A and B are shown apart, each in its own frame.
Chain A
Amino acid sequence: MSVIVSFEEYSFKYSGTTFYALRNINLDIYRGDFILLTGPSGCGKSTLLRSINGLIPHFYEGEYTGRVIVMGHEVSKSSTYELSRYVGMVFQDPENQLFSSTVEREIAFGLENLGLSKEEMRRRVDNVLQILKIENLRHKSPYELSGGQQQKVAIASIMVMEPEILILDEPTANLDPLSALELFELLARLNREMNITIVIVEHRLELITSFINRVLLMDRGRIVADGAPEEVFLERTSKLLGIGVPKVINVYLQLRNRGIEMDRPPRKPEELAVQVRRLLQRRSSK
């Protein structure tokens, strides 16, 4: 597997603050990873993402040591424009990302700098409107949309650029549960079929867990756990940091405490149900 993003002894402090928001980060992200980045509010998740697409250090002032390398380019030495060819970022606050007069123009905006033909632009815009199920919003003003609708438009305007690395900062915060699930399914498809690398900050652990291959857990500027979801969620640190774990994992743990051991921790309700049936069969065949 090839490394696509790497952090080397990287630390960052926003100017005007007294503490480092990121401390000694050493991290390799591999092409094709689908990573959940989680941790308590204020631990540095958004700061880490901004350090990948170059908003840090180019827009946010501060001090840094170490370096971040994205597809061979050192972030501090590359312009955000250059980086935007590889990295697309969906912001935590969708409204700040929107500025055009119609949804359609909003989505087409970034494409205008890519030198694509008119037909190709139209094809891509139509395609994202369709896959995000927002064709009906095409001619609306982004400011006259509900919170969730705005979020979908912000996501569309990044996806349309077809970046190789997609970083998303709580993209489902305002989405209804089914829309959130549909977005995760869509991301999983991009990840599987086009080998797009994805890093997502997400609090809806119950919905995202079955799609990811890796969890990074942060606390006060550091990465404190890095591994497969079950591994990280079963570690005590998750409990201690209060991030919560998916309910099916909770059920697994509570059963284990009562001496009922399943083969492996489930990632979703279907898996939990299968395991319960297996337990029953085993008991009745004894």
Chain B
Amino acid sequence: MRVIEVEDLYFSYNGRTEVLRGIDLTVEKGEVVAIMGENGAGKTTLIKHFNGILKPTKGSVRVLGMNTKTVPVSKLARHVGLIFQNPDHQLFAETVEEEIAFALKNLGFDDDYINERVNWALKFMKLEKYRKSSPFTLSGGEKKRLAIASILAYDPDIIIFDEPTIGQEYLHKQRLADFIKYLASKGKTVIVVTHDVEFVAENFSRTVVMANGKIVADGATREVLTDPEITKRARLIPPQPTQCALLLKDLGVPERVLLDSELVQSIVSLLKHSMIT
């Protein structure tokens, strides 16, 4: 089932310059998609169309069959959770736990369920000790995790992350990646905007690349991130194992290496081979 259908989308903030210029994109239920690309490419602008806060200047966006131009944002919000690039745009409550409870209350859930979800989210994002703290006294990474927690708590069908790995060390990224996989296995659709090439290489099977208001690549992450033409055009730097494999191409190391474990494999077999001959 198609949950997001974008057709020939154009968008302009000021009526003069178009920052999205003919976007076509479909996302299926249960898919996990990474969106990458240079600063100012239009990634944030695009995903703000998925929960209706921005409306197309031309073309259309349909989410779960609903046209975002005619359906109220409040109705979309029930199904689509968007975690903002800058958590300060999202956080406003007095305490961390109120922040997480806010959307749940708005959606009319009963207190027991709200409590359960708040506790779960605090625990999952490792924020328990800040339950009663003001969101504005948290560290940068903690704020980001709170912004994520407050969306995950109400369990929307489509979850959109704008730069979720900011301020997160490897361990937190890994927990997030594992959870994203879990969400997908439960039929949720997850879209992640990120500059983190290695996070994408290790965790996403599909990657969309934007440049200058357009989609310039959309396909299997392995094909996309190991293609020097694409990475160059979108100001991406391939993962280190990919770069190294390219440098050793003449020795017979395969070209489309993505992960460190794959590189180790091919170096080991290279050395074995050289022992025999």
Contacts and interface: CB of A to CB of B under 8 A. Distances in A.
Interface of A: 14, 16-17, 38-42, 45-46, 92-93, 95-96, 144-149, 152, 169-170, 173-181, 203, 206-207, 241-244, 246-248, 250-251, 254-255, 258, 260, 268-270, 272-273, 276-277, 279-280, 283-284
30 contacts: A17-B133, A41-B139, A42-B139, A46-B139, A95-B88, A147-B44, A148-B38, A149-B39, A173-B167, A174-B39, A176-B39, A176-B195, A176-B235, A176-B236, A177-B197, A177-B236, A178-B237, A181-B237, A203-B168, A203-B169, A244-B170, A247-B198, A250-B260, A251-B264, A251-B267, A254-B261, A260-B267, A269-B247, A280-B271, A280-B274
A146 B39 contact: yes
A242 B171 contact: yes
Contact of A242 (B137, B169, B197): B169
Contacts of B247: 269-270, 273
A92 B248 contact: no
A276 B268 CA distance: 10
Contacts of A95: 86, 88
A179 B167 CA distance: 17
A41 B145 contact: yes
Interface of B: 13, 37-41, 44, 85-86, 88, 133, 137, 139-142, 145, 163, 165-174, 195, 197-198, 234-237, 239-241, 243-244, 247-248, 251, 260-261, 263-264, 267-268, 270-271, 274-275, 277
A40 B141 CA distance: 9
Given A276-B248, A280-B274, 6 more contacts: A41-B142, A146-B40, A173-B166, A276-B244, A279-B271, A283-B274
Contact of A173 (B163, B173, B241): B163
Nearest to A96: B88
Nearest to B145: A41
Nearest to B264: A254
Given A41-B168, A147-B44, A178-B38, A247 B274 contact: no
Contacts of A255: 264, 267-268
Contacts of A203: 165, 167-169
| Secondary structure call for the A interface | helix
A42 B37 CA distance: 29
Nearest to A245: B170
B140 A92 contact: yes
Contacts of B241: 247, 251, 269
Contacts of B237: 177-178, 181, 207
Contacts of B236: 176-178
Indicate the member of B174, B243, B268 with the most A CB atoms within 10 Å: B243
A9 B192 CA distance: 43
B97 to A, nearest CB: 16
Contacts of A148: 38-40, 195
A272 B195 contact: no
Nearest to A150: B86
A248 B244 contact: yes
A272 B13 CA distance: 46
Contacts of A178: 38, 235-237
